[in-house]
C-alpha cells in the first residue's frame, strides 16, 4: 500500500515535523482511512509534536467521516481554548462541513456550528455561511 511506504519514509526521516505528519494524515483521509489518520495523530502527539491548524482541519474531516461526535467536540473545545478558530477560516469551514454531515446545525451548545457564526467569532466569513447553506439543502 502506498501509505505504508509513506509511513516508512516518515519513520526514516532524520527530523519529523508537524508538516510531515500532516502529509501522512491527509493521505489517509484522502484514501478514506480515517481511523489510520487518527492513529497518526496519537503517535504524533506521543512523540511530542503538537497539531497545528492544518492538522486540526484534517482531523475534523476524519471525525466527520467516522461519525466521532464526542471526540470531535473535544477537539472543538481544544481549538476554542487555543483561540485557533478566530485565527483561521479553514477551521471554521471544517467545522461547518463536519456538523452539517451530522445534521447538527441547530443544537444550542457552545461547540456547535452556531458558535462558528456567533458574534463572538468575528473571523468567520461569508463563505462559512454559504457552505452551511449549501450542505444543509
The DSSP secondary structure of 62-126, one letter per residue, reads HHHHHT-HHHHHHHHHHHHHTT-TTT-HHHHHHHHHHHHHTT-SS--STTSHHHHTSTT-TT--H
- Residue 83: which H helix or E strand, with range? none
Q: For residue 20, is pLDDT > 60?
A: yes
Interatomic CA distance for residues 129 and 131, integer angstroms: 5
Which pLDDT band holds residue 114 (cuts at 50, 70, 90)?
Answer: low
- Residue 79: which H helix or E strand, with range? helix 69-81
Residue 77 pLDDT: 82
Average pLDDT of span 24-41? 92
Best mean pLDDT range from 5-14, 25-34, 107-116? 25-34
pLDDT in tens, 49-91: 999 999 999 999 898 888 887 788 788 888 888 888 776 778 8
Residue with the larger pLDDT of the pair 117 and 24: 24
For the chain, domain boundaries: 2-136
Q: Are 62 and 30 in contact (CB under 8 A)?
A: no
Amino acid at each position: 500500500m502506498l501509505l505504508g511506504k509513506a509511513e516508512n519514509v516518515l519513520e526514516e526521516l532524520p527530523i519529523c515535523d508537524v508538516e510531515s505528519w500532516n502529509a501522512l494524515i491527509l493521505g489517509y483521509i484522502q484514501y478514506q482511512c480515517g481511523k489510520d489518520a487518527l492513529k497518526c495523530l496519537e503517535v504524533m502527539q506521543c512523540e511530542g509534536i503538537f497539531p497545528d491548524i492544518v492538522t486540526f482541519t484534517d482531523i475534523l474531516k476524519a471525525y466527520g467521516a467516522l461519525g466521532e461526535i464526542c471526540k470531535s467536540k473535544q477537539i472543538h473545545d481544544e481549538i476554542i481554548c487555543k483561540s485557533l478558530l478566530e485565527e483561521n477560516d479553514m477551521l471554521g469551514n471544517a467545522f461547518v462541513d463536519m456538523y452539517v454531515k451530522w445534521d447538527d446545525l441547530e443544537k444550542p451548545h457552545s461547540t456547535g456550528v452556531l458558535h462558528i457564526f456567533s458574534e463572538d467569532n468575528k473571523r468567520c466569513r461569508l463563505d462559512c455561511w454559504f457552505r452551511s447553506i449549501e450542505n444543509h439543502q
